[in-house]
Structure 1
Amino acid sequence: MAAPLKQLCFAVLRQTVRPFSSTCAVQAGRKWRLENGLAWTGSEYGPLTDLPDWSFADGRPAPPLKGQLRRQKQREDFARRAVNLNAEVDQGMRTWRANKEEQEREREQIKSSMLKPKGKLLLKNKNK
């Protein structure tokens, strides 16, 4: 009796074993979204994540959800950082230009303080 029970168990196990797949369902459509300039996942931004899920019957908007507030704060921080970095670049460019002008002034001052040709050389240089 033990042998038929053992065969029955093996038969049941063989039928319940399913093939294993290692593909990830989350990446479905990822390539298409990237090719079309969208986020690599479908839930990073857009109306489904940014707009409220519901509103009151009288037309008042629903209070924002935690995720919406978090994304709004992240966007504000990103914008603030971009403005600060842009200001730093502008300041760096102004400093660079000021240094360049100062070097040019020094070069002109050195040139003007050099000895000038006299006599025939002066007349020769004026004619050129």
Structure 2
Amino acid sequence: MAAPLRTFCTTVLRESIRPFSSTCVTHAGKKWRLENGLACSGSEYGPLTDLPDWSFADGRPAPPLKGQIRRQKQREEFARRAVYLNAEVDKGMERWQEKKKEESLKEEQLKSLMLKPKGNLLLNNKK
């Protein structure tokens, strides 16, 4: 009985239109989640990951788990880095604007040092 079943399974797999896939189940839905702006896996963030699993009967919260502390530190580090990079961009923009002002002042200074028209040319330019 085992031999006919084995030959049946191999012929079905060989003749099937769709190829047999042996990919990992943990990546199921990854493409859809990324397209919809969610995390790669369903357990990276959200209430099931971030909120405590239990609390005391009198209402006190449970102590945070190691994973929760680690994720909190990662988020704090990410926020610090974002603030630092934002400040760096602001400084760069300020420096760029100052440089632009200096260039325009130099240009105006050069124009003021240039020879000015005299006589009839001066009168014709004012019209």
Q: Which residue is equivalent to 2:10?
A: none
Q: Which residue is equivalent to 1:8?
A: none
Relative to the length of structure 2, the TM-score reads 0.81
Amino acid across the alignment from 2:82: A
> RMSD over aligned Cα, in angstroms?
2.2
Shift >3 Å, 4+ stretches: none
Deviates more, 1:82-91 or 1:30-39: 30-39
| Structure 1 gap ranges (5+) | 1-10
Q: Give the CA deviation at 1:21.
A: 6.0
Amino acid across the alignment from 1:55: S
Relative to the length of structure 1, the TM-score reads 0.80
Q: Which residue is equivalent to 2:65?
A: 65
Q: Which residue is equivalent to 1:114?
A: 114
Please give the per-residue CA displacement for 1:53-110, whole angstroms capped at 9, x wherever unaligned.
1111111000001100000010011011101100100000000000000000000010
Amino acid across the alignment from 2:83: V
Whichever of the two has the greater Rg, that structure is 1
Q: Which residue is equivalent to 1:48?
A: 48
Deviates more, 1:114-123 or 1:92-101: 114-123
Q: Give the CA deviation at 1:123.
A: 1.0
Matches within 5 A, 1:1-128: 22-127=22-127
| Structure 2 gap ranges (5+) | 7-12, 14-19
What is the aligned length?
A: 114
Amino acid across the alignment from 1:47: P
